Structure 1
Amino acid sequence: MEFRRALAHEWIKFRSVRSTVWTTAATAVLPVPGAVFVAATGSLQPDDTVLGGGLTFTVPALILAAVVGALVICGEYGSGTIRTTFAAVPRRGTVLAAKATLVAALLYALSLPAATAAYLTADALLDGDHAQGDPLPALLGVAAAFSVAGLLGLAVGTLIRHAAGSVATVIALLLLPSLLGPLFGEAERWIAGMSPTAALEKLIQSSDASVDAVGSLGAWPSLTLVTGYTVLALSAGTASLRRRDV
């Protein structure tokens, strides 16, 4: 009962804050114009698939999803309403669980149709010279990657509590592994594949998802790895939330 009440409160707060609403809307809208852009400019690589080209803009959309997760909690710390939240729901773990449920469910529900629409748009606009790719179950994994990115942003926001610092940190976590992976020799396949961005590029079968760029882990192992450390980050955030005065 307490969790259901906390979830209802989180939904009310979420849709009343413009920054989270508009960032979430941009996350859902971005993939389809990206597919149109790729088709209009003829920028699809010869070795790319329709799926990979159509979902090109899911990468920046994924970054926005992580920002949404961070803003869900950092916004409350910035405005001071987090005190009211904890007064209404004293169990802080329940508060974070409600936020995580809302972020994960909302991003999944929005990103799955958005990614599907982007793929269908690319399929309709592109010529038949490119391979289709395998949209299923890849599209389901893409939506899951968005949820994981949002939860990672929530975990970082819970630990840092400052919006600018949290956003900068979570963007670094999404982008740096693929850039720094080659510096770690044999461990590159783990380092480069440990971000939601790497998992996403593998899932959409992008020509940019080479072993050198995002590691040699497959799409689903990469997503599993990312999910695992996101769960650990959320656990650390929960412990931190319970120890602090606010």
Structure 2
Amino acid sequence: MTATTFRRALAYEWIKFRSVRSLVWTTVVAAALPVPGAAFVAATGSLKTDDTVLGGSLTFSVPAMMLAAVLGALLVCGEYGSGTIRVTLAAVPRRGTVLAAKATLVAALLYALALPATTAAYLVGGAMLGEEYAPGEPMPALLGVAAAFSVAGLLGLAVGTLLRHSAGAITAVLALLLLPSMLGPLLGDAERWVAGVSPTAALEKLIQTSDATADAVGSLPAWPSLVLVTGYTTLALLAATALLHRRDV
């Protein structure tokens, strides 16, 4: 993969992204959700007494991260649904380069949007909540939160490439985000291990919410949890790349 070929593939992906309304609007909503979410949580007084400003302000970062994962899935499944994937692979025959360009676009875009969005949400929450709650430790946690958005998008991209069907990929990636924490309580002592592998669990640890107890999201600290999620997302992307090379389209 030469640098010129990769830059061309990345330029193609950016043009396609801007031309698909569903991708643009999914991105806009994901980026916009944390700030009004912080205002809503502060205005309704729904925080627990042991929660932090950071945890309360970023409550809506969880559904926003789910939208980031949906974006990753739609980025590739939309092309399979419309048949334009054939045009993409004709323009850039190196399939690994195509997937690398998609991954670079979704990871960079989500990080660039999530960091200011979650930072603004923290500032809004802090201004509205005052000194009644502990502020939490926003740095470097906010950097990790933005990275979690990128990882969720990449996980969606990997699942979308593997399944190639929008509805199936969206269902599967949302299940990966939600089911571990939902099934954990049914598994007794194994709850902390099952729930802890979810990207949602890593995010909750990073935002230091009072709900991120060891029993609910595992005893692994926030940054190692993010590394774990990043690791199996990388494996999923490698599997997607191998499958993309093997099948006809």
TMscore range, shorter length: over 0.9
Equivalent residues in 2 for 1:1-246 (5 A)? Answer: 1-184=4-187, 187-246=190-249
Unaligned runs of 5+ in 1: none
Give the SS at the match of 2:242.
helix
Pairwise CA distance, 1:185: 5.4
For 2:239, the aligned partner's letter is A
Percent of aligned pairs sharing the same letter: 78
Answer whether contact 1:70 1:157 (CA < 8 A) is retained: yes
Q: Distance in 2 between matches of 1:232 and 1:182?
A: 27
The one-letter code matched in structure 2 to 1:100 is A
> What's the offset of the Cα at 1:193?
1.4
Moved more, 173-182 or 31-40: 173-182
Q: Which amino acid aligns with 1:209?
A: A
Partners of 2:42 and 2:82 in 1: how far apart?
A: 43
8 A contact 1:104–1:147 mirrored in 2: yes
Which TM-score applies when normalising by structure 2?
Answer: 0.96
- For 2:247, the aligned partner's letter is R
The one-letter amino acid paired with 2:209 is S
Runs of 5+ consecutive residues of structure 2 not aligned to the other structure: none
Instruction: Flag as ranges the 4+ runs of structure 1 deviating above 4 A.
Output: 182-187
SS in 1 for 2:47: coil
Alpha-carbon distance between aligned partners in 1 of 2:44 and 2:148, rounded to the nearest angstrom = 27
Shift of 1:212: 2.2
Once residues 111 and 138 of structure 1 are traced to their aligned partners in structure 2, the CA distance between those partners, rounded to angstroms, is 12
Relative distance call for 1:239 and 1:96 in structure 2 (3 A) is: same
Give CA-to-partner distance per residue, 1:114-145, whole Å, 9 cap, x none. 00000000011113111000000000000000
**What is the CA deviation profile of residues 146-194 of structure 1, one whole-angstrom value per residue up to 9, with x for unaligned ones?**
0000000000000000000000000000011122234555554332111
- What SS does the aligned partner of 2:36 have? helix
**Equivalent residues of 2:191, 2:216 under 8 A apart:** no
Conservation of the 8 A alpha-carbon contact between 1:104 and 1:148: yes
Q: Which amino acid aligns with 2:133?
A: H
CA contact (8 A) 2:29 2:64 kept: yes
Q: Distance in 2 between matches of 1:78 and 1:219?
A: 37
2:39, 2:181 → 1: CA distance? 27
Q: Please, which moves more after superposition, 209-218 or 126-135?
A: 209-218
Q: Distance in 2 between matches of 1:66 and 1:100?
A: 12
CA-based RMSD: 1.0
Using the alignment, how far apart are the partners of 2:10 and 2:237 within structure 1? 17
